[in-house]
Amino acid sequence: MEIALALSMESNQKSSFQEIPKLNEELLSKQRELEKIESGELGLSKVWINITEMNKQISLLNSAVNHLKANIKSAADLISLPATVEGLQKSVASIGNTLNSVHLAVEAIQKTVDEHKKAMELLQRDLNQYSMKETSRSSQIIPSPSAPSELDNKSHSKNMKQKEDSSDSQVSKVREKLQLISALSNKPESNRPPETTHEEQVQSFTSKPSALPEFPQSPGDDIEKTAQLRSVSIPGIASIKDLQDLFHKTGQNMDGELTYQEIWNLLGSTMPAPESLREFDADGDGRYSFLELRTAVGV
């Protein structure tokens, strides 16, 4: 029953969320209408421009009247003066009528703008209430009783997988270091620690991840420390993935070996000098394995 209720509420929530874009589109449409009313060809700004132009014309008429009064010099001017004044009066009356019409139009436009603003405020308020209602409804959805146990099982499995991956990675790193120590020290087979000692150290490392395995002191340890202190910088190689990509570009896998010239052909003149890499060539064959290059770069 709870699952059915959750599914029903989820379905209602989806349909409700589909209504929100429609409300947003309606709000945007109303906003565009307001902008058209305020700044369109027949908007408020255009009306005020026309009013300003009319005021300029009235000022020009007043200036003309004053000019006539100041420059009347003959009876002919006096005879034509009434007609001129009458024409001016008609012009002023016409402008007055136009101003009244403009004033009424401005009031009507302002009323329309106010109505649109009220409609937008109502739509915005409805949209906010709608969003709050949907948010509260979605937070009330209760998962089925089996859900927590399934989540716990998934979380437990994920944690176990991460621990296994971490242990495998640590074992791999230890084996690589053992191989590097053996290669760099170049000791006879009789002087190397027996293979069982390596396996015991690997098991000790994986059983206690927080503690590093204790290797017997040998010249290989000193060589490894020297290699770490003298790690070189190869442009474009900053991680194991970059090193893997370098091998893939030459058509080789991680078991292959690269010469200095092959690396130079890929990376160009930014490569360090051959001498800086030569000390990491454990077998001295002029070719570098993945492990040797990884030690050289220090990744």
What pLDDT shows up at residue 267? 83
Q: How many CB atoms lie within 10 A of CB 263?
A: 20
Poorest-pLDDT segment among 51-65, 94-108, 270-284? 270-284
What's the rounded Cα separation, in Å, for the pair 229 and 232? Answer: 9
Quick one: pLDDT at residue 42? 64
Crossing angle between the packed helical segments 240-249 and 290-297, to the nearest 10 degrees:
140
CA 243 to chain CA centroid, Å, is: 29
- Please tell me whether residue 287 adopts helix, strand or coil conformation: strand
Question: Which pLDDT score is estimated for 21?
Answer: 80
Calculate the CA 61 to chain-centre distance.
Answer: 63
pLDDT of residue 274: 84
CA pair distance 15, 21, nearest whole angstrom: 11
- Top-confidence range, 8-12, 148-152, 182-186: 8-12
pTM of the predicted structure, to 2 decimals:
0.27
**CA–CA distance, 213 with 46 (Å, rounded to integer):** 85
Reported as a single tens digit per residue, the pLDDT across 103-142 is 888 888 888 888 888 888 888 888 888 888 877 777 665 4
Can you give the pLDDT at residue 41?
A: 64
Q: What are phi and psi of 258, to 5 degrees?
A: -120, 145
- Between 92 and 8, residue with greater pLDDT: 92
Taking residues 80-86, report their average pLDDT.
82
Say whether pLDDT at 26 is over 50: yes
pLDDT of residue 127: 83
Quote the pLDDT of residue 75: 57
At 84, the amino acid letter reads T
Q: Quick check: 62 and 137 in contact, CB under 8 A?
A: no
Identify which has the larger pLDDT, 256 or 179. 256
Mean pLDDT of 272-283: 84
Note the helical H segments in the chain: 2-39, 44-70, 75-139, 146-185, 195-207, 219-229, 240-249, 260-267, 274-278, 290-297
Higher pLDDT, 199 or 234: 234
Looking at residues 25-49, what average pLDDT do you find? Answer: 78
CB atoms within 10 A of CB 66: 10
Per-residue confidence band for 223, with pLDDT thresholds at 50, 70 and 90 = very low
pLDDT of residue 40: 67
Cα 45 to Cα 33: distance, rounded to the nearest angstrom: 15
Average of pLDDT values for 67-76? 70
State the Cα–Cα distance between residues 25 and 45, nearest whole angstrom: 26
Share of the chain above pLDDT 90, in %: 0
DSSP string spanning 227-274? HHHT----TT--SHHHHHHHHHHTT--TT-EEEHHHHHHHHGGGSPPH
Q: State how far the Cα of 31 lies from the Cα of 116, in Å rounded to an integer.
A: 8
DSSP conformation class of 289: E
Span 154-210, pLDDT tens digits: 555 565 556 556 555 655 665 666 666 655 554 444 334 333 444 444 344 334 444
Q: From 117, 123, 141, 140, select the one nearest 20 (Cα to Cα).
A: 123
Lowest mean pLDDT segment, chosen from 9-23, 143-157, 206-220, 229-243: 206-220
Mean pLDDT of 223-250: 74
Q: Which two tokens stand for residue 101?
A: 């019409």
Check pLDDT > 60 for residue 219.
no
Lowest mean pLDDT among 36-40, 80-84, 92-96: 36-40
Q: Do residues 274 and 282 make contact, with C-beta atoms less than 8 angstroms apart?
A: no
Cα–Cα nearest to 57, from 8, 100, 91? 91
Q: Average pLDDT, whole number, for the chain?
A: 72
The whole-number pLDDT of residue 203 equals 43
Could you give the CA distance from residue 1 to residue 12 in angstroms, rounded to a whole number? 17
